[in-house]
């Protein structure tokens, strides 16, 4: 499972030219290096706001994976999950759509959500990804 997600960014030609100039002058290895650095700098700048929001919204920070055994235990306990993740949430490939529908009340992911197509279909209407990648 990849720890990165591909995104597309549209830039103005002047901005792109400036990035290319910095790459040519060896400030950055390539365009991607520049963009990653800029994003990391902005995330660092807003670090306190992100931490406060994660705590306020009770999000799991990082990776949260749900196996079939995890969801069977939830079902057997008679409860339902509210999945709330900043990072990556994934559901194992051997989880049936029926088991997912019975045990998952809602999915909120800021980052990426990975689950089988059939499981995503079973959870349709319960998934909020906030622009997150869904696979």
CA distances, 10 to each of 7, 16, 35, 61 (Å): 10, 9, 12, 28
**What integer pLDDT is reported at residue 133 of this predicted model?**
52
Domain range annotation of the chain? 13-45, 50-134
**What integer pLDDT is reported at residue 6 of this predicted model?**
85
> Is the pLDDT assigned to residue 104 strictly greater than 70?
yes
Task: Tell me the HSE value of 72 on the side-chain side, using a 13 A CA sphere.
Answer: 7
CA-CA distance, 62 to 85, in Å (whole number)? Answer: 7
Mean pLDDT, rounded, for 72-81: 96
Percent of the chain past pLDDT 90, that is, above it, reads 81
Q: Place 131 in a pLDDT band, splitting at 50, 70 and 90.
A: low
Please indicate whether residue 55 or residue 45 has the higher confidence score (pLDDT).
45
């Amino acid at each position: 499972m990849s720890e990165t997600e591909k995104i597309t960014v549209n830039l103005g030609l002047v901005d792109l030219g400036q990035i290319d100039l910095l790459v040519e002058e060896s400030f950055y290895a390539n365009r991607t290096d520049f963009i990653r650095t800029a994003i990391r700098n902005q995330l660092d700048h807003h670090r306190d706001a992100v931490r406060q929001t994660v705590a306020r919204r009770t999000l799991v920070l990082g990776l949260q994976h749900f196996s079939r055994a995890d969801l069977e235990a939830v079902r057997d306990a008679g409860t339902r999950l509210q999945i709330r993740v900043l990072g990556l949430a994934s559901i194992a490939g051997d989880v049936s759509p029926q088991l997912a529908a019975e045990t998952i009340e809602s999915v909120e992911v800021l980052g990426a959500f990975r689950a089988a197509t059939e499981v995503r279909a079973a959870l349709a209407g319960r998934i909020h990804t906030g622009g997150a990648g869904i696979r």
